[in-house]
Structure 1
Amino acid sequence: MERPIPHLRQRLSDLQRCGRVRLDREEIDALAYALDGVSAASVALFGSRTQAERRGGDIDLLVLTEAPAFETSRRVATRFFERCEEKIDVVVLPPDGGVPEQRAFLASINRVDLA
């Protein structure tokens, strides 16, 4: 079931405080702004920003939605960049996992669910 993403800024702040994600205040605010108005079955961070022992790295965002992938990815990335100049990769897939290659990708990543 797709729904708007409520309380994302608070969820990201909580995850940052407990060391589950490596994001600063500017990145948290930019993500909350970028995802405002997006309806999704799920949103998650994955990649190096979910590993406390790592340094640097871009922000990898996974959005599971029925909305058109290209338009959703472009909208989120553009809105994020309006607030923060950090590199972001937005992967948009259907909630059912899509084709076998997409399902294999989902099975291969460690992700931290945001919504």
Structure 2
Amino acid sequence: MKNIVKTDKAPAAIGPYSQAVMVGDFLYTSGQIGLDPVTGQLVEGGIEAQAERVMENLKAILEAAGMSFENVIKTQVFITNMGDFGKVNEVYGRYFKGNPPARSCVEVSALPRGALIEIELIAHK
């Protein structure tokens, strides 16, 4: 049985998908880009600002499911410029201080709304 997880503290879905789905003790999030949940607009300030917003959006979804970054077991990071890898790691590392999850990071040619980064995750309660 799947349960839809939704919060107003993260951007609403911009298509026919859910912010996250809980199946048993596992949470699967949709990819989050740096959209401000209040304005629905992509945040300004480059890769660091977008990465920070993405992580805050994911944090809100985790909290709506009764979890935190401690529950995250896998992330997938998509960036439009592998040259930003170090900047992304700096922001990402502030959210995963100890026992970080498994992760993959790939460069992609484009992301929705011209975003520079998108991250999705799997967490276990």
Q: Which has the higher strand share?
A: 2
Greater share of residues in helix: 1
How does the TM-score come out when normalised to structure 1?
0.34
